[in-house]
Amino acid sequence: MNSIVCLKQVPDTEAQILATPDGSDVKLDGVKFIISPYDEYGIEEALLQKEKAGGGEVTLVSMGPARAVEAIRTGLAMGADKAVHLDDEAFNGSDAQAAAKALAAQIKGMQYDIIYCGRQAIDDDQSQVGPALAELLGLPHTSLVTKVEVAADKKSVKVNRQIVGGEEILEIPLPCVLTCQKGLNEPRYASLPGIMKAKKKPLQPVKAAEIGIDAGTVGAAGSGTRVVKFTAPPTRTSAKIISGESPEEKAANLAKALREEAKAI
């Protein structure tokens, strides 16, 4: 079982994100970075499937600035075998579709059965790259996967996926792209020996030109969308505390406020 996991480094879920004074960008200096949580499910699943199959390789592919190496090393410490880091100025400013193009150009020449992506990267929250990547590679995909079962002949995979108000069970021929949803598995932590071993695992930096990418098709130049301004969302002015002598009275006052003031019920 050979798998590829697309991994993105993103700000920690706890991080406060602020805009620069002119609103043209966000301030990320001093922010702690992590592997996007949904990508961790991808790494875990790739490792589990490799263990089940009794062999194969798990390769991480990540596009990002120099600091992304940290997240890649963490993924290697979890147990992935090797990694490719798309690190080139040409990729700066890529929107989700452009990112999918860059990843597709890299993955095209690789050998794999399943490509795992996260449901969404928790910085841009696009949920685009998985389905777009599949399309660009000419592969079938399924999103929001919560269970993966590889067929005995290793030619297809049976997956459960979340749909509105329920679940769908699908069969997809391999190779394919799956996007991972919470519930798929419990990602392991990197162990100390894992961290030591990760330092020696192959981590290959790749430039756009090496994978035949024309600079105009990725990065800001190749993106069909551009963020022109970042603003902080409006904050709520402090809450109205509902008064009352007893819980019952508070409940009655709340119901009244929601009815008459907020007009919410």
Partner 1 sequence: MGKGIFVVTVPDQGTIRKVAFEILSEARKIATAKSEPLCAVIIGKGVAALAGKFAPYGADKVYVVENDLLENYTADGYAKALADLITREQPSIVLAGATVVGKDLMPKVAARINAGMAADCTAIGLDGDAFTVKRYMYSGKMIADVKFQADKVAIATIRPNVLIAAAPDASKSAEVVNVAAEVSAADIRVKVLEVVKGDAGKVDLTEAEVIVSGGRGMKDASGYGILEDLAKVLGATVGASRAAVDAGWRPVSDQVGQTGKVVSANLYIACGISGAIQHYAGMGTSKVIVAINKDGEAPILSKCDYAVIDDLFKVVPPLTEEIRKLKAD
Ligand X SMILES: Nc1ncnc2c1ncn2[C@@H]1O[C@H](COP(=O)(O)O)[C@@H](O)[C@H]1O
Ligand Y SMILES: Cc1cc2nc3c(=O)[nH]c(=O)nc-3n(C[C@H](O)[C@H](O)[C@H](O)COP(=O)(O)OP(=O)(O)OC[C@H]3O[C@@H](n4cnc5c(N)ncnc54)[C@H](O)[C@@H]3O)c2cc1C
Catalog residues that contact ligand X under the rule CB under 6 A: 6-8, 36, 38-39, 61-64, 96, 99, 103, 117-118, 120-121, 124-130
Q: Which of ligand Y, ligand X, partner 1, none lies near 254, with the C-beta cut-off 5 to 8 A by kind?
A: partner 1
Cα–Cα distance, 63 to 115 (Å, whole number): 15
- For residue 221, what are its two tokens? 């130049």
100 contacts 78 by C-beta, under 8 angstroms: no
Residue nearest to ligand X (CB): 118
Choice between 13 and 204, CB closer to partner 1: 13
Q: Binds 250, which of partner 1, ligand Y, ligand X, none (CB < 5 to 8 A, cut-off by type)?
A: partner 1
Q: Any residues with CB less than 8 A from the CB of 69 and at least 6 apart, and which?
A: 85, 203
**End-to-end CA distance of the chain, in Å?**
54
Closest distance to ligand Y from the beta carbon of 17 (Å) = 15
Smaller CB separation from ligand Y, 49 or 179: 179
Residue carrying the six token digits 């875990």? 44
Round to whole Å and give the CA distance between 171 and 157. 6
39 binds, among partner 1, ligand Y, ligand X, none (CB under 5 to 8 A by kind): ligand X
Whole-angstrom Cα Rg for the chain:
22
- Altogether, the residues listed in the chain come to a count of 265
The one among 13, 16, 20, 191 contacting ligand Y by CB under 6 A:
13
**Residue with smaller CB distance to ligand Y, 13 or 111:** 13
Q: Establish if 24 lies at the interface with ligand Y (CB under 6 A).
A: no
Q: How many Cα atoms within 13 Å fall on the side-chain side of residue 70? A: 11
37 binds ligand Y (CB under 6 A): yes
Tell me how far, at minimum, the Cβ of 82 lies from partner 1, in Å.
27
Q: Which is nearer to ligand Y, 59 or 74 (CB)?
A: 74
Closest CA to 74 of 146, 17, 8: 8
Q: Pick the closer one to ligand Y by CB: 13 or 225.
A: 13
